[in-house]
Structure 1
């Protein structure tokens, strides 16, 4: 029997009602972002209905963690109800953020929703389409096992989809979770792997298609650019199109303002206006949280650092000139002064000695051990809020070493320090 042609939507990592890191200090200015994750889910359901998709897949992390109250779950159920009224089934798995042991409240889901078991891999079929979906959710927040090897072989005569929350062989900025390789996925013989967990969109492989749709809504300054879901077209039993749909309700972005050679504030402000305008155009009408990075060698270096708070307020004022819904999330000052290069050269071999010490594996291992001890002592919720994944902890250690080196050189050579805020 031949497989009919159809389309489906693949989404993941909704992190519904996730607190938006980095904006809490901005008070009422962050208001446009508070409901962004909900609006993005509304956009996803609207897209599913308007595209008349055959079904929707959400590959884990629907929720950011345990619900603060039932309103989070009620909102999700209401959106699934909209799909039910349009006769669109939805297939869901639990990921690490909404693992069965994490979510303590529950609500009955509409009958169009199929939630895969957390105990073992299950198979759900859509007989009119000859589609078989194989998936499993997770009971626990940490899964070190390669569960891809437990997925059953493809069903003959069906279009087979694997649904899995995994880090694959690893991605920067994400904890290792249900690790596996492309070769492990290929063994099942499926036509498409609908993955979740990684927040950057990526078509990892095409034979078969292995896809991370990315998260539905950016949550902080490191999750920049367009976010959304993936629309998949299946024709005569094979994938013929994989299209990124932009569905985010608010946008995080980053612009670098090159101040190299700029010596007066008027020119700086003009460059700032251009940078903010570029970012606003990319946001395409969405509320925008923008991080500005000031770089380059400039005579303005010292006054910029001396008046960092004033610079931040000036940039917010510039942003409001460009648009009322632009929030300057942070201004990072990475400039250098005209004398910095000469001062560093005068330090001669001592800078090389510091660099060699900083690169010493034993020294870096000691720093890593200290950070790991701090992370273990910190409450789990606090570590999650800071965003200390294993990879981020390593990056924090590297930045700490670099910052220490900068401090020593600056104190010896009179160099004005850069802002060491991690990106």
Structure 2
């Protein structure tokens, strides 16, 4: 008889969303509750599929949580699984290594929370043909710079061996390096299934063993875009492994780009944005769609849109409301004014824009001054926020150049509005 389980990680229950809440309290409330609702979806999936176990591969919490509301919520969901006879296996990752809730909350006997020393837990499956052993090892501290693979207990011969590990693998942009290892290291352990956590994007390897990074069941911001899911896993008596992706997200973040090339009036701009939002809503797998809307392309509307960005956002929010279950998280203006061969040729502001672009922004002296300012600014940021301008020096320089060009467009848009006001 097959052994079936749900594998998930990086739930980050009740992680803070202060900036989003400040921009839109209603949207902040939706996303603030989304991690809980997604976890309820995970539990619902376990119950509906009548699985044998739920595997949580780290970062169940977002940090050193002390909220008893969070503890009570988790206890309620664990109780639902316990009442259905579903086992739960938990390891702690970098975010919840020091969590007081994980350490102090009293779980039923059907729940196993692994400590900082590797353990191998045999599951009593009654008269099933193939025994199952669940290996696990938690982070002892928030930092774990060395590989943990060699610390696991050896595979149990004759059993299906499943292991939980929180790891950055060989390293992924945007994620700190924790318990680093590579696929060949994991395959060498000769386990049947590695239930990983930490990287928020889904990864699947089916070589000598099955290695799965399930991603996360719910994104929390625009950098965690796309549909979010968990893995429903079936291991047959012949050790064949079948992995199904099951969507669990409540709100799906997406970047939606609207190309305004050739568009010359406000109504056509709004229509183009609406069509893009409708297409994104149709493609989304989650109940709610949260959009960062970006306008690009050369258009005579560029300076007006930059001046009236608040009105553009209001227009987009109205269209999103009509579409339903669609939210505008932010509007970005990357569109540019036409420079030559158009109705505004000869305009001194257009000529100024061309001059700034060719002789100032692209100059080595300006680039050096920009980097100096950027490095000074970065030095004043807290350590956890210093990568906001780029994960490496090349990305840092590219971000500064982009901000400089966007700044030029914004300044020229203000000058354009002043000129219009003077004419009027």
TM-score w.r.t. the length of structure 1 is 0.85
Closer, same or farther: CA 356–187 of 1 in aligned 2, 3 Å: farther
- Does the Cα contact within 8 Å between 1:40 and 1:248 map onto a contact in 2? yes
Q: Give the deviation of 1:55 after TM superposition.
A: 0.9
Distance 2:75 2:173 in 1: 33
**Secondary structure of 1:222's partner?**
helix
Q: What is the root-mean-square deviation in Å for CA atoms of aligned residues?
A: 3.2
Distance 2:235 2:2 in 1: 5
- Does the Cα contact within 8 Å between 1:17 and 1:72 map onto a contact in 2? yes
- Does the Cα contact within 8 Å between 2:134 and 2:162 map onto a contact in 1? yes
Q: Deviating runs (4+, > 6 A) in structure 1?
A: 366-369, 407-411, 413-417
Distance 2:337 2:379 in 1: 38
Partner of 2:59: 61
Q: Any residues of structure 2 matched to 1:71-90 within 5 Å, and which?
A: 71-90=69-88
Distance 2:390 2:208 in 1: 29
Q: Any residues of structure 2 matched to 1:385-396 within 5 Å, and which?
A: 388=387, 392=391
Q: Residue 98 of structure 1: which of 92, 96, 108 is its match?
A: 96
Partner of 2:13: 16
Partner of 2:380: 374
Partner of 1:145: 146
Q: Give the deviation of 1:257 after TM superposition.
A: 0.7
Q: Which has the larger radius of gyration?
A: 2
Q: Give the deviation of 1:204 after TM superposition.
A: 3.9
- Does the Cα contact within 8 Å between 1:253 and 1:288 map onto a contact in 2? yes
Partner of 2:400: 401
Between stretches 30-39 and 300-309, larger displacement belongs to 30-39
Partner of 2:181: 180
**Secondary structure of 1:140's partner?**
coil
- Does the Cα contact within 8 Å between 2:389 and 2:396 map onto a contact in 1? no
Partner of 2:50: 52
- Does the Cα contact within 8 Å between 2:232 and 2:245 map onto a contact in 1? yes
For this pair of structures, how many residues does the alignment match? 401
Between stretches 22-31 and 51-60, larger displacement belongs to 22-31
Distance 1:246 1:395 in 2: 35
**Secondary structure of 1:194's partner?**
strand
Q: Give the deviation of 1:272 after TM superposition.
A: 1.1
Partner of 1:421: none
Structure having greater relative contact order (Cα 8 Å, sep ≥ 6)? 1
**Secondary structure of 1:28's partner?**
helix
Matched, 1:167 2:168: yes
Partner of 1:122: 119
Distance 1:246 1:284 in 2: 7
Q: Any residues of structure 2 matched to 1:16-415 within 5 Å, and which?
A: 16-20=13-17, 22-25=19-22, 26-100=24-98, 106-118=104-116, 120-128=117-125, 129-284=130-285, 286-323=287-324, 325-339=325-339, 350=359, 354=363, 358=367, 370=376, 373-375=379-381, 378=382, 383=384, 388=387, 392=391, 397-403=396-402, 406=405
Q: Give the deviation of 1:177 after TM superposition.
A: 0.9
List per-residue Cα deviations over 1:245-267 (Å, max 9, x = no partner).
00112221221111111111111
Q: Give the deviation of 1:166 after TM superposition.
A: 0.5
**Secondary structure of 1:164's partner?**
strand
List per-residue Cα deviations over 1:49-73 (Å, max 9, x = no partner).
1111111100000011122420101
Q: Give the deviation of 1:46 after TM superposition.
A: 0.7
- Does the Cα contact within 8 Å between 2:115 and 2:140 map onto a contact in 1? no
Distance 2:102 2:6 in 1: 28
Partner of 2:419: none
Distance 1:395 1:254 in 2: 23
- Does the Cα contact within 8 Å between 2:249 and 2:286 map onto a contact in 1? no
- Does the Cα contact within 8 Å between 2:265 and 2:301 map onto a contact in 1? yes
**Secondary structure of 1:179's partner?**
coil
**Secondary structure of 2:180's partner?**
coil
Q: Give the deviation of 1:33 after TM superposition.
A: 2.5
**Secondary structure of 1:35's partner?**
helix
Q: Which 5+ residue runs of structure 2 have no aligned equivalent?
A: 342-349, 416-424
List per-residue Cα deviations over 1:219-250 (Å, max 9, x = no partner).
00111121121011212342332111001122
